[in-house]
């Protein structure tokens, strides 16, 4: 359970396996790198998988001092700190926005890009549903947040919602504006069960914009294809990474 000080803040990450480096970012309120360790041990054989918690979340230092671009800068600094020049970059939900933005800004450092349940841009329906998910904070949701973020879970929740309400965040992480200039080969994964925060259409739209992408939508499956269809997802991930430049 190592930590690095990056851009003045403690950053926690988990690491599993050996092989070509892959960074995986989830980066949501209801997630933490530590919870992905058993999954990666079971499914990601042949890769050195590094799973960071973004600044302000989970086991990284909690703060409200985050500009949208800081997460992308932190990722670059993490790679520098680990001595990694280029990676296969995998992600889900909010993490897909960080990963795609990093691939756009640092094409020389990304060998391939995996986007699981991508959120391509901010939109009113998703933001409203996200806020409504924690209005009044039911006991079970608070328990989940506390599991991921500790005693100041409510403060982390407010930080996360405030950031999503920032117009600068909406603009910087609008992937439609940059997708056509992403050079890495891209794999988009998701289930076909639609929901308000993770619309299927976001994956379809980005597939049409990326110059080199493959879209896999699994029938009868919730949005998180990597969780619900691991064998099929990792077969496609290995196909992508083996075909990417090394």
Edge-first strand listing for the sheet containing 110-116 = 3-6, 9-16, 48-52, 21-25, 87-92, 110-116, 186-191, 213-218
Question: For the chain, percent helix, then strand, then coil, each to nearest 5?
Answer: 45, 20, 35
Q: Within 10 A of 87 (CB to CB), how many other CB atoms are there?
A: 26
CATH superfamily of 3-243: Alpha/Beta hydrolase fold, catalytic domain (3.40.50.1820)
Rounded to an integer, what distance in angstroms lies between the CA atom of residue 72 and that of residue 245? 22
pLDDT at 56: 94
Secondary structure of residue 99 in the 3-state scheme: helix
C-alpha distances in angstroms, 204 versus 29, 76, 126, 207? 25, 28, 17, 5
C-alpha distances in angstroms, 54 versus 10, 73, 155? 10, 11, 16
The answer to whether residue 177 scores a pLDDT higher than 90 is yes
**Residues 74-89: what's their mean pLDDT?**
97
**218 forms bridges with which residues in the sheet?**
191
Question: Where are the chain's structural domains?
Answer: 3-243
C-alpha distances in angstroms, 113 versus 77, 109, 135? 19, 11, 34
Q: How confident is the model at residue 142 (pLDDT cuts 50, 70, 90)?
A: confident
Q: What is the pTM (predicted TM-score) of this model? A: 0.93
Q: How confident is the model at residue 144 (pLDDT cuts 50, 70, 90)?
A: confident
Average pLDDT, the chain: 92
**Residues 136-154: what's their mean pLDDT?**
84
DSSP assigned state of 125: H
pLDDT at 215: 98
β-strand pairing of 48-52 with 9-16: antiparallel
Output the CA torsion 4→49→103→235 (10° steps): -170
Instruction: Looking at the chain, list the stretches that DSSP marks H as alpha helix, in order from N- to C-terminal side.
Output: 33-43, 70-82, 94-105, 124-132, 139-149, 153-164, 167-172, 200-209, 225-228, 230-243
Contacts of 150 (CB under 8 A, 6+ apart): none
Q: How confident is the model at residue 79 (pLDDT cuts 50, 70, 90)?
A: very high
Rounded to an integer, what distance in angstroms lies between the CA atom of residue 235 and that of residue 246? 18
């Amino acid at each position: 359970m190592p930590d690095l000080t990056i851009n003045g803040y403690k950053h926690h990450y988990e690491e599993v396996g050996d092989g070509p480096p892959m960074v995986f970012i989830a980066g949501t309120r209801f997630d933490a790198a530590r919870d992905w360790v058993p999954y990666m041990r079971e499914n990601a054989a042949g890769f050195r998988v590094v799973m960071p918690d973004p600044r302000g979340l989970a086991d990284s230092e909690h703060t409200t001092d985050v500009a949208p671009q800081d997460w992308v800068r932190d990722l670059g600094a993490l790679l520098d700190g680990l001595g990694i020049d280029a990676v296969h970059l995998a992600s889900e939900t909010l993490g897909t926005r960080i990963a795609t933005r990093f691939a756009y800004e640092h094409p020389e450092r990304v060998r391939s890009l995996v986007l699981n349940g991508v959120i391509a841009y901010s939109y009113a329906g998703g933001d409203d549903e996200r806020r409504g998910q924690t209005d009044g904070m039911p006991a079970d949701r608070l328990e989940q947040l506390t599991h991921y973020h500790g005693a100041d879970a409510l403060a982390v929740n407010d930080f996360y919602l405030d950031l999503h309400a920032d117009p600068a965040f909406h603009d910087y992480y609008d992937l439609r504006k940059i997708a056509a200039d992403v050079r890495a080969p891209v794999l988009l994964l998701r289930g076909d069960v639609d929901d308000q925060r993770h619309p299927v259409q976001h994956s379809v739209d980005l597939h049409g914009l990326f110059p080199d992408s493959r879209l896999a939508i699994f029938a009868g499956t919730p949005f998180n294809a990597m969780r619900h269809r691991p064998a099929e997802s990792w077969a496609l991930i290995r196909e992508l990474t083996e075909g990417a430049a090394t």
